[in-house]
């Protein structure tokens, strides 16, 4: 490629209204991100087929960490949250924290109930 179009300043794109604080990544960054996401997905499926690892205590935390990394990469690079206005970040992270807290709280609540009542054993 003679030049990377994404390096150019987009004169007709309203950066302020779009909340773009830093220039968005180049197409080559997008390809690298896609490669990393694919490799993480391959790793996730790979560990799923290792019976000794599935039986170990590290299986679930490993999958959760890999999934969280993929989640963060897509949000930061593809959704441009790393490059855009902090108000957008707040609008996404605040409900996300509430949502994750809700999941954990519900699991804790129902897990406790199951242990106490013997339901779902």
Partner 1 sequence: MTHAAAAHSAHDDTHGHPPTSTGLDNKKLAIWAFIGSECMLFASLISTYLIYKGRSVVGPYPHEACLPPACSTPLKAILNIPVTSASTFVLLMSSLAMVLALAAVENKDQPKTTLGEKILGSSKLWLWMTALLGTTFLGFQAFEFTSFVHEGLTIRTNLFGSSFFTLTGFHGAHVTAGVLWLLTLLAIDYRRGLGPTDAINVDLAALYWHFVDVVWIAIFTLVYLIK
Q: Which residues sit at the interface with partner 1, rule CB under 8 A?
A: 1-3, 5-6, 8, 10-14, 16-19, 24, 27, 30-31, 33-34, 37-38, 41, 44-45, 48, 54, 59-60, 63-64, 66-67, 70-71, 74-75, 78-79, 85, 87-88, 91-92, 94-96, 98-100, 102-103, 106-107, 110, 119-120
Shortest reach from residue 38's CB to partner 1, in Å = 7
Least Cβ distance, residue 94 to partner 1 (angstroms): 7
Q: What is the C-alpha separation between 6 and 28, in angstroms, rounded?
A: 9
The torsion angles phi and psi of 44, rounded to 5 degrees, stand at -60, -50
Of 22 and 102, nearer to partner 1 (C-beta) is 102
CB of 22 to partner 1, least distance (A): 14
Gap between the Cα atoms of 44 and 53, Å rounded: 12
Residue number with CB closer to partner 1 (79 or 115): 79
- Joined together, the tokens standing for residue 18 give 């779009």
Shorter beta-carbon distance to partner 1: residue 52 or 120: 120
Residue 28 neighbours by CB distance under 10 Å: 11
Reported as type and span, the H/E element at residue 10 is none
Q: Which is nearer to partner 1, 10 or 22 (CB)?
A: 10
59 to each of 40, 63, 67, 69, 116, how far by Cα in Å?
15, 6, 12, 16, 27
* CA dihedral for 25, 31, 36, 40, sign (positive or negative): positive
């Amino acid at each position: 490629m003679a030049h990377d179009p994404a390096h150019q300043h987009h004169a007709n794109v309203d950066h302020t209204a779009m909340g773009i604080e830093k220039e968005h990544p180049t197409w080559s960054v997008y390809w690298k991100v896609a490669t990393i996401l694919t490799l993480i997905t391959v790793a996730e499926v790979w560990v799923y087929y290792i019976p000794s690892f599935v039986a170990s205590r590290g299986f679930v935390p490993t999958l959760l960490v890999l999934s969280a990394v993929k989640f963060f990469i897509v949000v930061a690079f593809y959704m441009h949250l790393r490059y855009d206005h902090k108000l957008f970040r707040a609008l996404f992270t605040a409900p996300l924290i509430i949502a994750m807290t809700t999941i954990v709280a519900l699991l804790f609540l129902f897990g406790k109930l199951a242990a106490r009542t013997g339901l779902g054993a």
